[in-house]
Chain A
């Protein structure tokens, strides 16, 4: 089993503010991971297809979006790719247990509250043990994935 760094996270949210704030938050929390912000599902597909990564791609979908909800998109995504290619989940402002249940039924691998800060990754590690947050002496952290 090799440890690989997760270079980027696909961030699907209709709110540009959310993406902007998240980038600033990750910088503030010293988490070394790039935000790849998408508002259009098609673009997400294209990005995945063009990715040369040998480790699974991590993708977080906002739950409430105007045209299609995050759960619907995850459901569509897993019809095309399996979990070895992509690990998709929901990050949302909702605390409704029903939303959580719907999400897992749709195939989501995680359901974590916004915002995406250190707590998000701690919860991610708790949900998916293959992830690990690794800190270096400078105080910056990197997300590791075991595969």
Chain B
């Protein structure tokens, strides 16, 4: 206890030198007082055994004053006492005098004044050998001998230990040499935590001081960012394990490691404190991080609790619309729109105060630079090691596009859901060959299944399909997989009420990169109503087609928006085409119109579209087999809700035959009209011209037969003669009328040689020619297809007229023919009186006469008969003045094989 309290005691007594001397005598008496610089301050008692007396250099340095044999041990004792502030007891020996002579050295740390310099009092005492004491006290020789033998053995052992000790010392010196050269901060402490070794780097770092005596570990000053060394060592010793503590400041980054050393009995005898320097690595890592920080697309900024931007990357500058480096030092909140400033500020402060990071919070942000965005914001509060205030790291990730996509997706999903609900379309999905099928709400509703369950067994699905339709469904699926045919099938599906409804499934398989099917996704829609409508439509369509076929009416439809054209079956027939030969399209369909009709048709349809009114036209349309056909078209433009014309519907009717019939009918009608008129005229003139001689005969007879009236003999004879001439005239009229009516009768037709006809007439009329001294001239005349009787009558009448009305001495009749493009032009002319110009058309009328009957006998039917024959052969006749001076009758005869009647 006295030893433990010695320091206190010394401190108290040092103020009184007498007491100090008395203390030295008590402790010593042979002692040396050494200051902290290891200079000898005072010597007490007899220390001649220990100090170098032979070479007095006048130096007070302990290493010079002490004998070399004690030097190391004394210096060690001084350092320990000095460092631990506790008494240190050690042993030393004087090798040069006698190797058995040992000395005890006790080092007392002394502080002369409180807060003053630390000194050490070294007290030397002679070492008393225990064995020698035993030898002196026991008188038994045997025992003494035995003891001596033991002593010698011990000595021998001691010598060995000496040698080992020497070796250890040398090793120790080598170690010290190594340790002195290392730059690593390293401290070794003993079990009392006195520093027994400290590398120069450690001395500098922990400001251990340069005094010879190494201090206790608690006197080390830990730099900023370092833990208390004493605490660390004590923890390692207490735990008997290695502890490692990260250390960091602005100059140094690494770790502090305390390694306890154990004795053979597992007691802690010392500990080593080592500092691992990772500063360079940390700096390198910091540079790399800085590079990443600067180049990250996300805006990363650190703010203090006022919102001041302490640190920011380039992305932050861009985000706020600033030039590089401009954001640092500014207040973050100034960049946000007033309306959201407080909200953001509150979020930041909350995070800083709670110290809890806030990760990936999605916020809508509006900046003062008019930038409105969706952002994912992370807030990470960080307590800076050397700063009192925490910083808030903020990462802003612009996810506007992503958010838009999400919104769009949500919108799409919403629309899809609505669409599915509205259209009663359900979606299903089945992993390939999986046992379960996903059914959307639509299908579940249709099948009357549980509302919340979405997965159903495949057998469940199969049980809903009508057994007769299952093979069809499977076939469609198989063909889709194997041939890539569309997965589209209609079948009967049992609904929740147990009734079968018609549904349509449309699906698509998904293949992976290896070409294997992954899943099927498809829809099921209830088409019962649609199917019923289609059945009705089919029926209507069949009726329409039947009506169309029967009436020969084709219909078409132009979709203006899509530019497509539809043709009904009959349309193909009208064009003489088949659906295999031609696919209707507007561009090519207009090419079927006759080029002369197309502009009219295009104009009509364009006007109809413009005014949205009905249209109709007649045009010629090319038929693939029959040339141009005539069609009647009617049509109508159709408008959508907005009033825009979307379709033109039209109907074609092939009226070619009808037109031909109408044309024929018109011809017949005209002919009938003409015939009727002729008949009417015929009957009229008959009634007049035939009535005339009859009336005459009747009157004359009446005069002759009247009993009260005597006409006299002369007149009676004249009356009888006149009755006779009227009777002859009546007969001539009847003969001519018969001839006239016979023209229409069926007669034998063939090739008629007109020259032969003329020859015959010449023969027949020879007496007339001779009587009038007349002549007839005709060259070679053509052969014509027709009835000989007609041409005989024709020429007889014309030549007869030429002779009958001729007043010349030598009447001449000339007949000629000339070829025309369509047939022949034949003329009969004479040198008679001719026909007055104004009477030339009238001469062909029935019973028309230019001469009085008393001048020239005639019925007035001759030229009417001629005209009728010419007309019969599609020709025309006219009366002109002849070069011979008389009349010239010229008529055309068509050179085609016209059938009589």
Q: Which residues of A contact B852 (CB under 8 A)?
A: 14, 39, 65-66
Residues of chain B with a CB closer than 8 A to A96's CB:
684
Instruction: Say if the beta carbon of B854 comes within 8 Å of chain A.
Output: yes
Task: Check B718 against A20 for contact (C-beta < 8 Å).
Answer: yes
Instruction: Indicate if the CB atoms of A21 and B688 lie closer than 8 Å.
Output: no
Q: A17-B726, A93-B692 are in contact. Are A67 and B706 (CB under 8 A)?
A: no
Interchain CB contact (< 8 A) of A16 among B711, B715, B719, B854: B854
Partner of A21, one of B700, B850, B853, B854: B700
Chain A's nearest CB lies how many Å from the CB of B408?
94
Residue pair A14, B692 in contact (C-beta under 8 Å): no
A93 and B839 contact, CB distance less than 8 A = no
B235 within 8 A of A: no
Within 8 A of A (CB), among B836-880: 839, 848-854
Q: What separation, in Å, do the CA atoms of A92 and B165 have in the docked complex? A: 192
Task: Mark B691-718 against chain A: 1 for CB-CB distance below 8 A, else 0.
Answer: 1100110011001001001010001001
**Residues A67 and B839 in contact, CB atoms below 8 Å apart:** yes
Those of A1-33 within 8 Å (CB) of chain B: 14-18, 20-21, 24-25, 27-28
Q: A28 near B703 (CB under 8 angstroms)?
A: yes
Return the contact of B722 from the options A14, A20, A27, A64 (Cβ within 8 A): A20
- Name the residue of chain A whose CB is nearest to the CB of B704: A24
The size bracket of the interface on A is 20 to 34
Partner of A24, one of B703, B839, B848, B849: B703
Is the C-beta of A114 less than 8 angstroms from some C-beta in chain B? yes
Q: Which residue of B lies closest to A114 (CB)?
A: B695
Q: Which residue of B lies closest to A67 (CB)?
A: B850
Is A94 interfacial (CB-CB < 8 Å)?
yes
Across the interface, name the chain A residue whose C-beta is closest to B695: A93
Query: CA A16 – CA B726 in complex, angstroms?
Result: 11
Given A20-B718, A94-B688, A96-B684; A15-B853 close (CB under 8 Å): yes
| A115 sits at the interface (CB 8 A) | yes
Are A64 and B726 closer than 8 Å at their CB atoms?
A: no
| Measured CA separation A71–B849 after assembly (Å) | 17
Docked Cα-Cα span, A125 to B342, in Å, equals 133
Tell me the minimal C-beta distance from A63 to chain B in angstroms: 9
Most buried by A among B711, B839, B853: B853
Contacts of A114 in B (CB 8 A): 695
Residues of A93-111 at the interface with B, using a CB-CB cut-off of 8 Å, are 93-94, 96
Question: Residue on B with the closest CB to A13?
Answer: B852
Task: Tell me, in angstroms, the Cα distance from A21 to B848 when the chains sit together.
Answer: 24
In contact, A64 and B688 (Cβ under 8 angstroms): yes
B851 to A66, Cβ gap below 8 A?
Answer: yes
Q: Return the chain A residue nearest B706 by Cβ.
A: A28
B507, chain A: closest CB distance, angstroms: 90
A15 neighbours in B (Cβ, 8 Å): 692, 696, 853-854
Q: Which residues of A contact B722 (CB under 8 A)?
A: 17, 20-21
A35 to B632, CA, bound (A): 71
B-side contacts of A14, CB under 8 Å: 852-854
Of B695, B709, B852, B853, the most chain A CB neighbours within 10 A belong to B852
In angstroms, Cα B849 to Cα A65, docked, is 8
Chain A nearest Cβ from B697, distance in angstroms:
9
Smallest CB separation, B378 vs chain A (Å): 118
Q: Which residues of B lie under 8 Å from residue A93 when comparing CB positions?
A: 688, 691-692, 695
**Alpha-carbon gap, A132 to B719, bound state (A):** 31
Which A residues are CB-close (under 8 A) to B699?
A: 21, 25, 115
Chain B nearest CB, measured from A79 CB (Å)? 17
Greatest chain B CB density within 10 A among A15, A25, A39, A115 is at A15
What separation, in Å, do the CA atoms of A18 and B711 have in the docked complex?
A: 16
The closest CB in chain B to the CB of A65 belongs to B852
Residue of A with least CB distance to B836: A67
B719 to chain A, nearest CB (A): 8
Measured CB to CB, the closest approach of chain B to A95, in angstroms, equals 9
User: Separation in Å of the B856 CB from the closest CB of chain A?
Assistant: 9
Chain B residues in 8 Å Cβ range of A21: 696, 699-700, 703, 722
Q: B671-691: contact bitstring with A at CB < 8 Å (1 yes, 0 no)?
A: 000000000000010001001
Contact across chains for A66 and B691 when beta carbons are under 8 A apart: no
Within 25-59 of A, Cβ neighbours of B (below 8 Å) are at 25, 27-28, 39
| B695 cross-chain contacts in A, Cβ below 8 A | 93, 114-115
The residue in chain A whose Cβ has the minimal distance to the Cβ of B692 is: A93
Best-buried of B695, B726, B839 by chain A (most CB within 10 Å): B695
B595 to nearest A CB, angstroms? 51
- List the B side residues contacting A25 at CB < 8 Å: 699, 703
Q: A28 CA to B703 CA in the complex, in Å?
A: 8
Residues of B within 8 A of A67 (CB): 839, 850
Determine whether the beta carbon of A24 is less than 8 Å from that of B696.
no
Within the complex, the shortest CB–CB distance from A106 to chain B, in Å, comes to: 17
Q: In the bound complex, what is the Cα–Cα distance between A65 and B839 (angstroms)?
A: 13
Q: How far is the CA of A107 from the CA of B699 in the complex (A)?
A: 30
Please tell me which one of the listed residues A20, A64, A66 contacts residue B850 in the complex, with CB atoms under 8 A apart: A66
On chain B, the residues within 8 Å of A66 by CB distance are: 848-853
CB distance from B77 to the nearest CB of A (A): 179
**A24-B715 contact, Cβ under 8 Å, with A17-B722, A66-B851:** yes
* Interface members, chain B 594-636 (any A CB < 8 Å): none
Q: How near does chain A come to B115, taking the closest CB pair, in angstroms?
A: 171
Return the chain A residue nearest B849 by Cβ: A66
Tell me how far the C-beta of B612 lies from the nearest C-beta in chain A, rounded to whole angstroms.
Answer: 55
Chain B contacts for A28, CB-based, 8 A: 703, 706, 709
> Could you say which residues of chain B place their CB within 8 Å of the CB of A18?
696
A16-B703 Cα distance, complex, nearest whole Å: 16
List of A residues within 8 angstroms of B703 by Cβ: 21, 24-25, 28
Q: How far is the CB of B690 from chain A (nearest CB, A)?
A: 11
Question: How far is A68 from B711 in the complex, measured between Cα atoms in Å?
Answer: 33
Residue of B706, B709, B711, B725 with highest tally of chain A CB at under 10 A: B709
Bound form: Cα–Cα A21–B688 in Å? 18
CA distance A140 to B232 in the complex (A): 190
- Specify which chain B residues have a CB less than 8 angstroms from the CB of A27 in the assembled complex: 709
Given contacts A18-B696, A24-B711, A28-B703, contact A39 B691 (CB under 8 A): no
Residue of B whose beta carbon sits closest to that of A18:
B696
**Could you say which residues of chain B place their CB within 8 Å of the CB of A64?**
688
Complex: how many Å from CA A17 to CA B723?
9
How far, in whole Å, are A96 and B680 apart by their CA atoms in the complex? 13
A117 — nearest CB in chain B belongs to which residue? B699
Shortest distance from the beta carbon of B712 to any chain A beta carbon, whole Å: 10
Chain A residues with Cβ under 8 A from B725's Cβ?
17
Distance of A15 Cα from B726 Cα, bound (Å):
11
CA distance A17 to B851 in the complex (A): 16
List residues of chain A with CB within 8 A of the CB of B849: 66
Give the distance in Å from the alpha carbon of A138 to the alpha carbon of B323 in the complex. 156
Q: Please, which residues of chain A bring their CB within 8 A of the CB of B700? A: 17, 21
CA distance A21 to B851 in the complex (A): 21
Q: In the complex, A66 Cα to B851 Cα: how many Å?
A: 6
A-B contact pairs, 15 of them (CB 8 A): A15-B853, A15-B854, A17-B725, A18-B696, A20-B722, A21-B696, A24-B715, A39-B852, A64-B688, A65-B852, A93-B688, A93-B691, A93-B692, A93-B695, A115-B695
Those 5 A-B pairs whose CB atoms lie nearest each other, nearest first: A66-B849, A14-B852, A28-B709, A17-B696, A21-B699
Give residues in A with beta carbon < 8 Å to B.
14-18, 20-21, 24-25, 27-28, 39, 64-67, 93-94, 96, 114-115
Given contacts A14-B852, A66-B848, 6 further A-B contacts (CB under 8 A): A15-B854, A21-B699, A24-B711, A25-B703, A39-B854, A94-B688
